[in-house]
Structure 1
Amino acid sequence: MSEQALKYHNMLLGSERKIESPENGTLVKKSIDNATRKLEECLRKSSAVVAPNPANGNELTNGVGEVGTSEIEYIESEKLSDVEDADAALKAVLAGLESKDWLLVCDTLNNVRRLALFHKEVMLNMVEDVITLLVKALKNPRSAVCKTGIMTSADIFFAYNDELINFLDPLMVQLLLKASQDKKFVCEAAEKALVAMTSWVSPALLLPKLKPYLKNRNPRIRAKASMCFCRSVPLLGGEGIKAYGIDELIQTAASQLSDQLPESREAARTLLLELQTVYEKSPDYVRSSSVSEYLPETSSWENFCQSKLSPLNAQAVLRVTNLAREALVSSS
């Protein structure tokens, strides 16, 4: 019980002791009523502790002076409406994102989404500043701000595509981190944002940005980066894969086959099967190994892998692709 509540509690007990006095019965009754009301109010305030709100990913709500996330609505992109005044919304963006009022930050993030989807040209000149503050929102310990920021990232990828490439690194780092954490509703939103990134940013520009994270010390970050890498490579197309360097891509995928987490290994297997298909459709592919003895520039898939990889990695890659081929033959 708080100090103030204890004070009113003692007042109430003192009043009860005096209630038998016939001279001032009415005054005593009023005193008891007032003390009781104050005690109840004080106890109600002191018991309004921070409690989890399971409907919003265990976001904390405070009954005393803090508005809970029940007032935050996570609006899907297709349900966003246009801003009433684009110029006014644009002028308020930077100040709103820098605010210490988290509700205002969330409102501003939603306006950034609207501007990106409906008026992307007007915000283009300030995209770098917006992304800097967006990264700050992703680091916010309050989940409502973080998730709204993640949803904003997805819409920005959709709107600005390759125009983000020079500002992409800090944003991508945070999304990989958020997709790797244990808070489910934040993690799922970050996964969607990473899918948007691989869908709307050109793979030729994105793959060099992703590659360093395939060797990150955090296995979860490696796994998420591997999944992004695997999704992005097929978007290059057959000619794009050969232009990027199929041998380099095979080496990258082979290194992920022995990774700690199954997500990394599965992404590597999927990528290797894609690369095998592309290679076997190329004019360099020759089924007969005897031909490759006379024409060193041509090679079967097996010989190609053995020439580009260490013996151990080549064995692992061929095991994956041969098993997939055998499964395909047996099912047909």
Structure 2
Amino acid sequence: MALRPIDNALPITPERPKKQAKVSVPVQKKPSEFGVNDENKAPLPPSADASVDYIPSENLKPFQDPESFIQSLIEGLDSKDWVKLCESLNDARRFSLYHSNLLLPILEKVILVVVKAMKNPRSALCKTSIMAASDIFNAFDEKLLDSTDSGAFDQLLLQLLLKASQDKKFVCEEADRSLNAMVKSMAPLPLLQKLRGYVNHGNLRVRAKAAVSISNSVLKMGLEEIKEFGMVTLLQMAADLLNDRLPEAREAARSIVFSLYKAFRENEEEIEEEAWQSFCQTNLPPNHAQSMVKVTLSSRV
């Protein structure tokens, strides 16, 4: 007997397998070590630096047992953990202010660590190192040049000038304070020898910051110190800066000229204006000599 077909029967189709949902797994980037020196990297977010306290010098305390802690300081300065390094730089500041005799044997190492930290793109580490430089200046003054290799101080000076010239305001202001501490604490003659080369630096902001430090150093000098450094040298330096592009450099140059003019008048038995004009004309190109005389004439108007 034949079977009758079932009415309205639908064809059976196989069920398609369901697609699996894609799961995204975040990939953590390996943090760079402190040893990487790249000033062109973008600064890290402010939240990353939130755990660092910027301690004013007056709030730093001496160690209870500094002799037993000096080795820990040396180890901490070698740390690649930036938070640990900030803590060690603050400890170096405490040694500078209260136990400088213990820091003296490793002072050059400390300076080189400070320089390296200034180059780091992490703002907290950079600022802490600049604060350390200020306390070192205040503690060691001109002895800093006698206790370290000349190259270490040169690196420190360059980094401070560069940091004072950048656009990041809170780093720039801290570097300005450190440069002022340097000028205030150190003897002007050896410092001027270090600064004089930067008035011809290719970076106009560095020139301006160097000019300010030079003018502040010259303000501390008496007649004999100015003569020892060289009146003609200062005259030519000021003349170059008077024609600089930045107002900060030109204002510093005018301050140098006033100090030099005052010393010149003390040195000369005759204080006639012709003697100063002759001095400028003898040692400068005509247009520079004229600018120099105008500056001193304006001071008496």
Q: In which range does the TM-score fall when normalised by the shorter chain?
A: 0.7 to 0.9
Q: Provide the rounded CA distance (Å) in 2 between the counterparts of 1:225 and 1:174.
A: 12
Contact map agreement 1:97 1:134 (CA 8 A) in 2: no
Distance (Å, rounded) in 2 between the aligned partners of 1:148 and 1:133: 12
Q: Is 1:215 the equivalent of 2:195?
A: no
Aligned letter for 1:176?
L
Distance in 2 of aligned mates of 1:61 and 1:314: 50
**Alignment-mate amino acid for residue 233 of structure 2:** E
2:288 matched to 1:322? Answer: no
- Classify 1:276/1:288 alpha carbon distance in 2 versus 1 (closer, same or farther; 3 Å): closer
Unpaired runs of 5+ residues, structure 1, are 9-41, 47-57, 63-67, 290-299, 327-332
**1:310 aligned onto 2:295:** no
Residues 283-298 of structure 1 aligned to structure 2 (within 5 Å) = 283-287=268-272, 289=274
| Unaligned segments of structure 2, at least 5 residues | 1-20, 29-42
- Counterpart of 1:152? 132
1:120 aligns with 2:100: yes
| C-alpha contact (below 8 Å) 1:176/1:221 kept by paired residues | yes
Please give the alpha-carbon distance, in whole angstroms, between the structure 2 residues aligned to 1:316 and 1:196. 32
Whether 1:95 aligns to 2:87 is no
Aligned CA RMSD, in angstroms, stands at: 2.2
User: Does residue 80 in structure 1 map to residue 65 in structure 2?
Assistant: no
SS at match of 2:45: strand
Equivalent-residue separation in structure 1 for 2:245 and 2:200 (angstroms): 11
TM-score relative to the length of structure 2:
0.82
SS at match of 2:267: coil
Query: Could you tell me which residue of structure 2 aligns to residue 26 of structure 1?
Result: none
Give, in whole Å, the separation in 2 of the partners of 1:285 and 1:242: 18
1:182-221 to structure 2, matched below 5 A, reads: 182-221=167-206
Residue from 271, 280, 299 that aligns with 2:265: 280
- Aligned equivalents of 1:255, 1:284: Cα separation in 2: 28
Query: 1:89·1:111 contact (CA, 8 Å) conserved in 2?
Result: no
In 2, the alpha carbon distance for the partners of 1:250 and 1:186 equals 32
The 1:316/1:196 distance shift into structure 2, 3 A limit, reads: same
1:35-54 equivalences in 2 (<5 Å)? none
Give the alignment's TM-score, normalised by structure 1.
Answer: 0.74
Partner of 2:121: 141
Instruction: Please state how far the C-alpha of 1:178 moved relative to its aligned partner.
Output: 0.4
What is the aligned-residue identity percentage?
42
Q: Deviations over 1:49-81 (max 9, x none)?
A: xxxxxxxxx86156xxxxx32221111111111
Describe the SS at the equivalent of 1:107.
helix
Provide the residue aligned with 2:10 in structure 1: none
Match of 1:241 in 2: 226
SS state at 1:281 partner: helix
